Structure formats: C-alpha cells, structure tokens
Structure 1
Amino acid sequence: MNQESPKKNKDIQDQAKKNRGTEHQGTKEKFWFDENQDKLFKIGKHKGENWAEIVAFHLATLLGISCAKYEPGSLPEESPTKYGVISQSFINKKDGERLINANEFLAQLIKNYDPDKTYRQENYTFSRSIALIKVLIPPLKEKSIKQFIGYLIFDVWIGNQDRHHENWGFVASSTELSLAPSFDHASSMGCRVGDTEKQERLNTKDTGYNVEAFSSKAKTAMYNNDGKILKTYELSELCHKHYPEESCFWIQKIKQVSEQDIAKCFESLPENWMSDIDKKFTTKLLQANQKQLKKLCIKN
C-alpha cells in the first residue's frame, strides 16, 4: 500500500440535493445519490462505525478480498455536519444487474425460514450458507466457496459480528448469478467501544479483561447446527474443519500483514476520525486474531 496523507471528507452537499434515492435496508441513516443514484452515503450510529468501514475496506484490499469500496464523506448542509461513508455501487443497473441478499434464497431453500428475522435466526447456519452457494452457482461453486470462506475468515480477523443474512448475497444478471463482493463491516474491530474501556483493556494485567479476552468473546450472526450462536473463533474452526485448504489460503495472507501495513490503513482516514487509543486497540485486536488464526494452519 502506498504512503498516503490523511484524507479529507468528500463534500456531497450539492450532489445530495439532486437525484437522491432512499435506501430502506438496514437501520442506519442512508441514501443513494449522484446522477445515476449509484453512490450510497451511510451515517454510522457511532462515529467508530464510519472509520471501521474504511479501515476494513483497506484491510480487505490487502488480502485481495472482493469488497465494496468505502471512502469518507460529509453532509455540511446539516447542523451539525454529518459524517459518514460513501460507497460506490457494485451493481451495474444499466446491464440489468441486481443484488439479491442471502435471506431471500435461504427462505426458498429452508422450510419455515423467516427472511425478515435478521438476528437470533437459528436457521441461519454455516452449513446452510455453504449449501446455498452450491445450489445456486454449481458451475462456479469451488471458486465461490473459496471466496465466501475468505469473507468469513476476514470477519474473524477484524472481529466482524454482523455477517447476518442481509449482509452478503448474490449479483444477478440476465445470464448468470455470482457471489457479491463483501460489504457492511461497521460492526468490527471494537469500533463502538469507548476510549476509556479500550485504554483499560490495553493496560490491564487481567487476562480475563485484556484485548485478547475481548476478541475471544466476539460473536457472529451465524448459528451451529445445534441452535447455538457461533463465536468468531468457533466459526474459523468450522471453516478450517470443512475447508482447510481454502481457510489456510486466506490465513496465510493474513499472516503476512504487518503492523506497518495496518498503520497505513489508518492513513486513509481524515484527521481526528480515529483516536490514538482507537488505533492502538485496533492494532492489538487484529494481531490477537491474527495469532489465533495462525494456530489453525500451524502445519501449513
């Protein structure tokens, strides 16, 4: 990654006044804008959610993970100014493409599956998600499963707890169906935790409260086949158990990311978006998860 100076917020005041379209999915304030309504402006409920999206995008890029691009933006017409992230749509509407979220297909595949129940959805499991990919895109299932395992291993690394059934899906065109790029990583890297708690966890000698302990308690939105919600580390173990080659492919890439590489991802942010404590805590969390993932592929 090239050395970059801190970025500035992209002022979307003038663009937002024209061709503005509503986005109903999710709980955050957001809208589509620009001439073709192909750019999404999303405002995090917590300021940390904004930097998390951008840092996650740059980390995904380091690994070669297909990911929606995020950059900082602001609405200066609001008082006070609203800050958020701008994401370019990965859907080509002119070619008739559309995004179909996983919940729509899971509801067709699984009896009594509630597509509107985003959380505490016990029918949303790792095995069923993999089965969905195999059923929908059998000609490309090996490539797509490797890609999807990459998303899940990436989630474990960044501590993403929000890969629910509307936060991944498929791009449908008139001729084919493919796995959509990864998107929506605003619930990662402990971005909602305050500076005071982060400092305490960084400084403590209590192994039950430090950053490593914090990382080990992170939960996913997926369940195992026994109706128990999966922690992120448990998800990585499932990935490795059923797809060891694919998992270790991505873990090897994560192993190669240095502290300097992580620091460069922070440089893509405007000044004052991340505190020094945020940066220290995030680096420590990524390193803790990196270390945990390495154990799965110790022989590789």
Structure 2
Amino acid sequence: MLRDVSDWERIGYGRKSTLEKEELISPEKIHYLIKYPRQFKEGVSWEDITELIAAEIGAIFGLEMMDVEIVTRNGRRGCLLRNFVKEYDAKMAEEGGVLLSALVDDYTKLQESSLKGMELIDAGFKIMREFAYWKAIKSEFIDMQLFDILIGNQDRHPFNWKLLFLETGAKFSPIYDNGVSLGFRFDDEKLMQMVSNPQEMNKYTEKTKVKAGIFEKKKVKAKDLLTYISKNFTDEFHQSIQKLVEFDLIRYSDFIQSLDILSEAQKDWLLSIVPFRRKKILEWIGRGDQ
C-alpha cells in the first residue's frame, strides 16, 4: 500500500522540467518534491519507479543518493523526493551547468562543437579540469560515471547534478534525477523479450551512451568514457571499480523482490539487467573474472 500524500500542502510547482512536479511540505514541515511519470502518446513510462530503484542501486554502490519513495497524490502515482538542500542547510545550491557556463570560458563552445568520440570526451574533461571546484568533486564525479553506465542513465546532463555550498565549503550533492534509465520505456512484452534473448541484452548494453554530466545534448559511448577515465583519472577510477566489484547483488535482489509495485516481467528484467551490465563493465576493463 503506497503512502497517500494528497493532504500535504503544495508550495510550488518546481523548476521547468520534462516531468510534471510539485513542491510539497509534509505535516512535519519537511520539504519534498513529487515527480510524476511522463505521459506518452505511445508506449509506457515507469520512470518514477526506476528513480526509486536507481537510488537503491546507488546506495548499494556506496554513493550518497537522494531519498526516494513511491507515493500517491490525488489518485496519481509519483516519486517523492526529499529536499536535500534544506536538509543540509546549504547557503546556496547550484546546478553544474549553471556553474560551468558561468566559470568556464569554453563551456558554450563545447556544447556547440562538432567533436565526437574520444575527442569530445577529452574536450569535456578539459572543461572540467578548468572548473574551480573540480578537485573538490572529482572522486564523486567519477563515481557518478560508473553508476550511470551501470544503470544506463540517458540523461545525466550538466543540469542534473548540483554543488551545495555549506559553511565548510562546496560539496557534491546527493545524486538525483536517475529515472531515465533501466529500460524505463519498455513495456512487459519488451522486457520479457529482452530477458529471454541474451543477444538482445548484450546489444542493448553494448550500445550504451551517456552525457557524462558534461554534455547537454551530445552523448558518448560508455566504453569510450570508461577507457578515457581509466587512463586519465586512475586513482578515482580504481576506487569506483572496486565499488562495482563489491556491489552486493544479494541485497539488490532482495530489494527488487520486495517491491510489490513491480510486475513479474519488470522484476525479471531488473534482476537480469543490473548483474548483466555489471559483468559487461568489468569485462570491458579486463576484470571479467570478478
């Protein structure tokens, strides 16, 4: 039974987004955001649920994630997100894209460039190296790359991560906006087809592309990104890979099995795709025996 938050006070509608949002305050005066899955003319979307599952995957991976809960409000299902800016009592919180465009001269030029592949990745990380807060966030930023490849996140543009400015300095925010992942548009028929066909699963994984937290509209191949960061951010990369090696698949399986909101096809898919992607990433970097 999902918690009903229909009686919570609405205090706003959130910033401009592809998803419908409402800002809410609970009876305990805690601030939240609720996001509703998109309505498409054709096909399905269960990105509110994939937001929840991605948050658990990130927690198992050892990352600081935004708190997520599936709830209902006025008869509609959505994901309820706790406001971490209020939680940290941050003096200011700003999206990466806003900070980069203000502090790095070539940011706009990069977004409009015709570069592709490794050249684009290299240009993107040259921008990041110029970023005034790069040293403070480098470890978490590299962790985020591995996490996004693991879940197949299609939308980690630079406005989908934040810095929190605290009394003690700048801090990478909990990771949020992870719902465009894990096959969020696949209906049960498609999920069953994928699970029963290892070649399809492999094709789906091999063609993974990501925005790397740097590119607004461009994407790069996940395998190319792994190759680049393994060579250029060796220490951070090895730390992230170790987290992937130690990823607790039993805890993950128990979590998926506990979600009554999922169909059997969705459960089978999720129990298959995450271990499959984890194995493929390790194979790509020559650690396929782990």
Q: How does 1:116-265 map to 2 (within 5 A)?
A: 125=121, 128=124, 131-132=127-128, 135-137=131-133, 141=135, 144-173=137-166, 176-204=169-197, 207=199, 210-222=200-212, 229-265=219-255
- Aligned partner of 1:282 in structure 2 is 270
CA RMSD of aligned residues (A): 3.3
What amino acid is the match of 1:195? D
Question: Are the structure 2 counterparts of residues 242 and 28 from structure 1 closer, same or farther at C-alpha, using a change threshold of 3 Å?
Answer: same
Percent identity, aligned pairs only, is: 19
Q: CA deviation at 1:294?
A: 1.4
Query: What one-letter code is carried by the residue in structure 2 that aligns with 1:252?
Result: Q
Q: Runs of at least 4 residues of structure 1 off by over 3 A?
A: 93-96, 120-135, 222-225
Q: CA deviation at 1:41?
A: 0.6
Worse overlay, 181-190 or 91-100? 91-100
Q: Which amino acid aligns with 1:237?
A: T
Q: Does 1:28 align with 2:16?
A: no
Once the two structures are TM-superposed, the CA of residue 137 in structure 1 deviates from its matched residue by 2.6
Larger RCO: 1 or 2 (CA < 8 Å, sep 6+): 1
1:113 matched to 2:108? The reply is: yes
CA–CA distance in structure 1, aligned partners of residues 258 and 234 of structure 2: 33
Letter in 2 for 1:135: F
Deviation of residue 156 (structure 1)?
0.7
Q: 1:39: which partner in 2?
A: 32
| Normalised TM-score (structure 2) | 0.82
Note if contact 2:90-2:164 (Cα within 8 Å) is conserved in structure 1.
no
Spell out, residue by residue over 1:147-191, the C-alpha distance to the aligned partner (whole angstroms, 9 max, x if none).
111111011111111101111121124662221121111011112
Aligned residues: 276
Counterpart pick for 1:293 among 273, 281, 284: 281
Q: Runs of 5+ in structure 2 lacking a partner?
A: 39-43
Give the TM-score of the pair, scaled to structure 1.
Answer: 0.80
d(CA) in 2 for partners of 1:124, 1:180: 26
Equivalent residue, structure 2, for 1:97: 91
Q: CA deviation at 1:293?
A: 1.9
SS in 2 for 1:20: strand
When residues 146 and 134 of structure 1 are mapped into structure 2, their CA distance, relative to the original with a 3 A threshold, is farther
- Is the CA contact 2:124–2:214 (under 8 Å) kept in the aligned structure 1? no
Q: Does 1:9 align with 2:2?
A: yes
Q: How many Å separate the matches in 2 of 1:196 and 1:217?
A: 21
Distance 1:130 1:92 in 2: 32
- Aligned residue identity for 2:243: K
Which shifted more, 124-133 or 176-185? 124-133
Q: 1:47 to 1:11 in 2, by over 3 A?
A: farther
Contact 2:160 2:213 in 1 (8 A): no
Structure 1 residues 244 and 93: CA distance shift in structure 2, 3 A = closer
Unaligned runs of 5+ in 1: 1-7
Residue 73 of structure 1 and its aligned partner are, at CA, apart by 1.0
Kindly report which structure 2 residues correspond to 1:52-71, keeping only aligned pairs within 5 A, or say none. Answer: 52-71=50-69
